[in-house]
Amino acid sequence: MSKYQPQEFEDKWYSYWLQQQFFKSVPDEREPYTIVIPPPNVTGVLHMGHMLNNTIQDVLIRRARMKGKNACWVPGTDHASIATEAKVVAMLKDKGISKKDLTRDEFLKYAWEWKEKYGGIILEQLKKLGASCDWDRTAFTMDPHMSEAVIDTFINLYKKGWIYRGVRMVNWDPQGKTAVSDEEVIRKEVNQKLYYINYKVVGSESQKDGKTESHEDEKPQVVIGDDEKQEVLAVQDELLPDLPTPVLTDSKDYLTIATTRPETIMADSAICINPNDERYTHLHGKKVLIPLINREIPVILDEYVDMEFGTGCLKVTPAHDLNDYQLGQKHNLQVIDILNNDGTLNESAQILVGIDRFAARKKIAVMLEEAGSLAKTEDYKSQIGFSERTDAVIEPKLSMQWFCKMSEMAKSALDVVVNGEVKLIPEKFINTYRHWMENVKDWNISRQLWWGQRIPAWYNEKNEWVVAKTEEEAKAEFEKAGLTYTELRQEDDVVDTWFSSWLWPISVFNGIAEPGNEEINYYYPTNDLVTAPEILFFWVARMIMAGLEWRQEVPFRNVYLTGIVRDKLGRKMSKSLGNSPDPLDLIEKYGADGVRIGMLRSSPAGNDLMFDEEHCKWGSSFGNKIWNAFLLVKGWEVDDSLECPNNIAIEWFKSRFNQALVEIEDNFGQYRLSEALMSTYKLVWDDFCAWYLEMIKPAYQKPIDRHTYNVTISYFEDILKLLHPFMPFITEELWHDKLFGERGEKDCCIVAQMPANGEVNTQLISDIDVVISIIGQVRNVRSKNQLSPKESLQLSGKINSGIDYSHYIGVIQKLANVSEFSFVDAKVNGAVAFMAYTDEFFVPLELNIDVETEKKRLEDDKVYLTGFLKSVNAKLSNEKFVANAKPEIVENEQRKKADAEAKLAVVEASLAALAN
RNA sequence: GGGAGCAUAGCUCAGCUGGUUCAGAGCAUCUGCCUUACAAGCAGAGGGUCACAGGUUCGAAUCCUGUUGCUCCCA
């Protein structure tokens, strides 16, 4: 064996595990332990967030497997309708094909081809990380049975009255030409301009009762600016009235509004002022004219208007602003949509038709200025929404959408988190979760895309519609309803990807179509879900809803929320910043094991991870340490004639190991994975390598006795097991070394059983703590006096405690390089002295002891101990303390007192001796 | 503007139900070692008013209130 080179064996073991089908799970009599992967976007490539997330899942699943559970980790991807469709559209564009020229089926054919070619990349990358997923179960949200589940649940909810159609203001992405959810809108602060625009007031009172006001009695007219839909709720022509020639009784009479969006003035329906605003009482009941197009709109009153902001006059544009929309509904205003789906102005705008919204903004500013209607402009900063997928500025847009009612499902989904049926880790996310669930809005589930599950709604020529699984069933529905049709047309839109993935924990086991099947009964509910807090709401919460709805049971018991992986500067890792290392490069450089533990090290649940490559380096150093410890043991020759001199070391490590086992178990129980890793790390590096191996190590080229050798090998094997979930590759590689004897085909670390808990000799552990302190102080004496470690020293001990050092002399001599150890009854003059616990030790040196330095050191000790004792005494003499504190705490204080007094006595005696 | 969270060593974070003079770990820094498993190492050292101000308590990094600063979510 040579140096530690993880790259040399990682692929080998991964293939072997696959070949032996160790990741495979089928229901059996064992207790199941199940994780479903948060399905990564099928277009995705592995990024650091996935690395962290999947490392955690793999640690959990490997540990469960080694604890005798039937571990099942279901992998897969989601179809990511927006992202995938965008990629396919881009690919087609490169080929000179426009989506518009394709039929739905043609387009989908290209999309599937694309998916087959690129869709599996991320899963292949996970294998490099060591992910022990049951790949035979790899699922895709558009697999036939998964899609069928989506359609069935859609119909089911529709029948329940929880799915409906409605006009809503949606976040429209004009580039992706799709509605996106609030969660997919990224708000950024942007420098803008505030345009101050004058609207002429229509002055004459006589006009007030005129024809133009009659619309207030009518139903509000709504224009859906969706040029892909035939369906509009009003006829556009009605919104293109003959422009009345403005008659201004007083040309100086105008009001000024402030807006960042002058291009939308053509869509204005009113000007709103605060009724309490004394500046504008003269405008009550008046009408004004929109500049450039001279359309007349009323001045309305509402306390919603902030008198402080802008001019106090608010242009109301119901079609293009959510707040204005609500205001418009309240005041029964016209809704005029002047934008096409691609962000260009439509006919309703009357001017600048066909021009992009941003170009139109610049142009209209000039036009307004020329018309004398632009009062001024000001710089202004505000938050603008951008599409997460395309980075286009989001356009609030009215659109006919499918919605899923949330209120009832949200209530149950909140209950199970509040009552602990589903635990969020860390718990602090409960508050956020509650806040969201209590303020939940209905879920907009339609997507204006083709890639995904097509909504099972069918329309006749009159746009009357029914919901049904097939065309035949739809026809039957029509007939049942007494509606006529000549031909039916299926809804073009697909449902939101989350409407597939909320079924994930159920549908991967085909639990919708066959709710009683063996797999779903065995694996569901799953155990742990590992995901990012940013999708707590729109994925986790909805999975809980779906679980309760279709299985009357939560989908998982625990939700482990990881943090966001950031760079050293705390910036989120992103492609655009280029601050994310390529995970596969990291694996190449540091080994998968090194990267895994590097990521885990400083990422407690729910906390962001400030990623630094140094962590991976640390990880691979640890691998190196284990490797070298192994080389040491492997190099030993055994001599059967030797007695075992290492009983203390052997017994001590066994106790330490068992102690650590409990700690690690406890850490896992609380999902403190980094703590569990650190406990393991310290056990291996400090206790095993630095102390145990040094204690038992035979002198150079000397053989070791059989007993120590065998025990050490079994310790090593136990350590490999403990390490395996964190570092699967190096542990498997070493597991198969001849050192451990012949291994059968199936005898692998990955399926070995975790060591069972054993006894802990706490007395021995605390004795060895003292021994370790003695060794450290002897080394320190050497170091302070610039003596070589090779130079052996003499050591005498004046024992005041009850510790029986006779057992430990050997260890002390070996590790502190002490040639002679003796017990003394009195202080040794002219020697360097130190204390360990309450015992005194002396190292005679052939040099002058600086009395003053020694005195100083003892004085310092004395000050410390006196202070310590004082604080302890203060507590113990405090009646309230003795009365209120728990008995074991009082007891502990008494022990502290006794110890401190003993130590202080020793220090004082030493000082007295020095004074002589 | 509304809600939530965070603030501990140069950095990243522990510190769990208040209870050793409690202020800890790793990394980084500094000093000394190429001591034959490991320089990806070994032996040592320095480093913090636990953001600030009050309060509760016998006792506060820990609980409460306020202030400041940062982050996230929502409008």
Q: Protein footprint on strand B: which nucleotides are under 7 Å from a CB?
A: 3-6, 11-16, 19-21, 25-28, 32-33, 35-38, 40-45, 57-59, 73-75
Res A569: pLDDT: 67
Q: Residue with CA nearest B1 C1'?
A: A306
Q: Which nucleotide is nearest to A538 (CA to C1')?
A: B73
Tokens for A554, please give them.
């939560």
pLDDT at A349 over 60: yes
Average pLDDT value for residue range A285-296? 89
A197 CA – B14 C1', rounded, Å: 59
Q: Which nucleotide is nearest to A881 (CA to C1')?
A: B58
A188 CA – B3 C1', rounded, Å: 20
Q: Residue with CA nearest B70 C1'?
A: A570
A869 CA – B5 C1', rounded, Å: 40
A323 CA – B51 C1', rounded, Å: 39
Q: Which nucleotide is nearest to A610 (CA to C1')?
A: B12
Which residue in the block uniquely carries the two structure tokens 């006894």? A759
Q: Which nucleotide is nearest to A570 (CA to C1')?
A: B71
Chain Cα centroid distance, residue A73: 18
Over the stretch A58-95, which tens digit does the pLDDT of each residue have? Answer: 999 999 999 999 999 999 999 988 888 888 888 898 99
- What CA–CA distance (Å, rounded) separates A456 from A694? 71
Q: Which nucleotide is nearest to A594 (CA to C1')?
A: B40
A777 CA – B24 C1', rounded, Å: 21
A573 CA – B6 C1', rounded, Å: 20
The region that residue A475 occupies, defined by phi over 0 for left and psi between -120 and 50 for alpha, beta otherwise, is: alpha
Res A121: pLDDT: 87
Q: Which nucleotide is nearest to A884 (CA to C1')?
A: B58
Does the annotation place A87 within a ligand binding site?
no
Phi, psi of A554 (to 5 degrees): -60, 150
Phi, psi of A787 (to 5 degrees): -100, 145
Res A383: pLDDT: 66
- What band does A551 get if pLDDT is binned at 50, 70 and 90? very high
Over the stretch A589-635, which tens digit does the pLDDT of each residue have? Answer: 899 999 999 888 866 666 677 777 888 888 999 999 999 999 999 99
Angle (CA) A172-A174-A177 rounded to 5° is: 80
Q: Which nucleotide is nearest to A620 (CA to C1')?
A: B40
Average pLDDT value for residue range A826-846? 84
- What CA–CA distance (Å, rounded) separates A362 from A282? 32
Q: How many residues does chain A have?
A: 916
A533 CA – B53 C1', rounded, Å: 34
C-alpha distances in Å from residue A880, one per residue of A439, A533, A874, A876, A884? 49, 46, 11, 9, 6
Residue A103 burial (CB count, 10 A): 9
- What band does A242 get if pLDDT is binned at 50, 70 and 90? very low
Average pLDDT value for residue range A797-813? 90
Helix (H) or strand (E) run with residue A56 in it: helix A48-66
A878 CA – B55 C1', rounded, Å: 22
Contacts (Cβ under 8 Å, ≥6 apart) of A710: none
A432 CA – B66 C1', rounded, Å: 24
Q: Which nucleotide is nearest to A441 (CA to C1')?
A: B74
Which ranges in A683-727 belong to alpha helices (H)?
Answer: 694-696, 706-723
pLDDT at A237 over 80: no
Average pLDDT value for residue range A554-561? 92
Average pLDDT value for residue range A379-405? 79
Res A631: pLDDT: 94
What SS3 class is residue A186?
strand
pLDDT at A722 over 90: yes
Res A238: pLDDT: 30
Res A226: pLDDT: 38
A864 CA – B19 C1', rounded, Å: 20
- What CA–CA distance (Å, rounded) separates A597 from A730? 12
A912 CA – B68 C1', rounded, Å: 53
pLDDT at A575 over 70: no
- What CA–CA distance (Å, rounded) separates A698 from A714? 18
Q: Residue with CA nearest B31 C1'?
A: A783
Res A630: pLDDT: 95
pTM (two decimals): 0.84
- Secondary structure string (H, E, C) spanning A629-640: HHHHHHCCCEEC
Q: Residue with CA nearest B73 C1'?
A: A432
- What CA–CA distance (Å, rounded) separates A363 from A369? 10
Q: Decide if A354 contacts A345 (C-beta within 8 A).
A: yes
Q: Residue with CA nearest B32 C1'?
A: A783
A431 CA – B64 C1', rounded, Å: 20
pLDDT at A837 over 90: no
Average pLDDT value for residue range A43-57? 87
Average pLDDT value for residue range A524-529? 95
Which residue in the block uniquely carries the two structure tokens 């552990």? A765
Q: Which nucleotide is nearest to A871 (CA to C1')?
A: B21
A750 CA – B48 C1', rounded, Å: 43
Q: Residue with CA nearest B12 C1'?
A: A602
Average pLDDT value for residue range A105-127? 91
- What CA–CA distance (Å, rounded) separates A588 from A580? 16
- What CA–CA distance (Å, rounded) separates A395 from A179? 9
pLDDT at A679 over 80: yes
- What CA–CA distance (Å, rounded) separates A570 from A609? 9
Q: Which nucleotide is nearest to A5 (CA to C1')?
A: B40
Choose between A214 and A21: higher pLDDT. Answer: A21
Tokens for A719, please give them.
């350590």
